[in-house]
Amino acid sequence: MSAQPPVRARILDAAALLFYTEGIRAVSADRIIAAAGTTKVTFYRHFRTKEDLVVAYLRAQSERIRAAAGNLDPDPCTGLLELATAMGEETCVPGFRGCPFINAAAEFPDAGSPVRTVVREHRNWLHAQVRGRLEQLGALNPDTLADQLLMLRDGAMVHGYVADPAGVTDALISGGRAILEHALS
C-alpha cells in the first residue's frame, strides 16, 4: 500500500482539479477540504484564505509550464514551433477548459489582487520567453511581435474551449508563421 501524498499536496491537487473543471469562485473551501480528505483546521493551517490557495494553484501551474518550456529546442525558430504545437495540442486534450491564467484573470477582475499578480508574473515570463527567441531571430520590434503571437495563442486557448478544437494547432502555427514572415521580411 503506497503512502498518501502530504496533505498540502492533496489540497493543491484537489483544488487544481476543481478550480479548473468548475471555476475558482464556484468551488467552496468545504468542497476542496472534502476532496482532499482533510479537516478545516488542517486546510487553514496550510492556506489562510481561499485566495492564498488560488495563488498557490496558479504558481504550481506556472512551475509546470516553465519546466516543460525548459525542454524546448534552443534554436529560436524550432523552439517557437514546439511551443505553438504544445499549446495547440493542449486544446485537444479531453476536459480542456481554457488557459488557467486567463480563467483566473476573468474571475479576479481587481488588478491589485494577489491572484492577478501571479497571472501577470506568469504572462510576463511567457512574453519574455517568446521575446527572447524573437530577438535571436533578429526581429526589429520583438516586444510588439511577442504581444501579437501571445494574442494569437490566447485566441487559440479560448477557441479550443468554446469551439471545436480540431485544427487549432494548425491554425495557431500558420497564423504565427504569417506574423513572423511579415515581421521578419
Identify the CATH assignment for 1-48 out of 3.40.640.10, 3.40.30.10, 1.10.10.60, 3.90.420.10: 1.10.10.60
pLDDT of residue 2 exceeding 60, the answer is no
Which CATH fold topology does 50-184 show?
Answer: Tetracycline Repressor; domain 2 (1.10.357)
Residue 167 one-letter amino acid: G
**Tens-place pLDDT, residues 72-81:** 999 999 999 9
- Residue with C-alpha cell 489540497? 11
Alpha-carbon distance of 98 to 171, in angstroms, equals 17
CB 72 within 8 A of CB 79: yes
Q: Which pLDDT value is given to residue 126?
A: 97
Predicted confidence (pLDDT) per residue in 92-118, tens digit: 888 899 999 999 999 999 999 999 999
Cα distance from N-terminal residue to C-terminal residue, the chain: 61
Average pLDDT over residues 166-176: 90
- pLDDT per position as a tens digit, 129-161: 999 999 999 999 999 999 999 999 999 999 888
pLDDT above 70: residue 1: no
